Amino acid sequence: MLEKAGLTTGALVRAACRRGELTGQTAGLARGFTQANLLIVPRDYAFEFLLYAQRNPKPCPVLEVVEAGEVRPRMLAPDADLRTDFPKYRVWRNGELVDEPTDITGLWRDDFVSFLIGCSFTFETAMLDAGLPVRHIEMDRNVPMYRTNRPCEPAGRFAGPLVVSMRPMTPLQAIQATTITARFPGVHGAPVHMGDPAAIGIRDLNRPDYGDGVEIRPGEIPVFWACGVTPQAALLAAKPPIAITHAPGCMFVSDRKDAELTMG
């Protein structure tokens, strides 16, 4: 059996994926190493998606684009292979989920362009280090996520509402969390809203559109960050003939450290 505690670097996590030993969630592995979401589209969709990301940097912070014909992310992890180094993938045809393989070598096409996108694990580590609560981690659940009534800026075939993640905290903690996450524009940055959920079109905090509900304690307010589900929802709505993403929670673990992602 795989000893997850031994996976202390991005290289070790990726090697375990490549050997087929790690096929599940990467949360908590290789602490401090930046994890990334994956989104692969045919070249015909690449400019539009990159433009969508440029127009919506908070929900879609692109860490690296791997061009058509290449499988190695030379900035995030030059030794890695995008076809084998995730625990699990999702394959979408015309916007419909068709498979969840642990290796996509057999599906690879020379016109695939790969986008590695920043993920909130990075700023959650920084918040935990600062002693701030991250309720869904305390409760061992998935983060609650909600579709809002705020449209993203469309680009070509990519469009849709902003999706947010929510973490409850006191107003003072929310202020501290704002200053901390503002330092990480590469992983969603500062919150997009705090307080009244109805102001951004959320009817019931207990019924998230994705993930699990979490407890909000007396004196706490909900704090909302732009979420990486936003571009994935836009991708599926665009219904490309084929697209590949990471499976939920099964991220790419890079060689870069979270601390390198702060602005400057």
Residues that bind a second copy (CB under 8 A): 46-47, 50-51, 53-55, 62, 65, 67, 75, 153, 155-156, 182, 185, 189-190, 263-264
CB of 60 to a second copy, least distance (A): 11
Output 87 or 189, the one with its CB closest to a second copy.
189
Rounded to an integer, what distance in angstroms lies between the CA atom of residue 36 and that of residue 20?
19
CB of 262 to a second copy, least distance (A): 10
Output 44 or 99, the one with its CB closest to a second copy.
44
- Kindly give, in sequence order, each residue whose CB lies less than 8 Å from that of residue 225, ignoring residues fewer than 6 positions away: 120, 123, 164, 165, 166, 167, 181, 188, 189, 191, 192
**Comparing C-alpha atoms, which of 63, 193, 191, 196 is closest to residue 127?**
191
CB of 15 to a second copy, least distance (A): 27
CB of 109 to a second copy, least distance (A): 17
Output 30 or 63, the one with its CB closest to a second copy.
63
Output 75 or 128, the one with its CB closest to a second copy.
75
CA 204 to chain centre: 23
Q: What phi and psi, each to the nearest 5 degrees, are found at residue 12?
A: -70, -40
Cα 263–Cα 61–Cα 87 angle in degrees, nearest 5: 115
Output 96 or 110, the one with its CB closest to a second copy.
110
CB of 145 to a second copy, least distance (A): 21
For the chain, the distance separating the N- and C-terminal CA atoms, rounded to the nearest angstrom, is 42
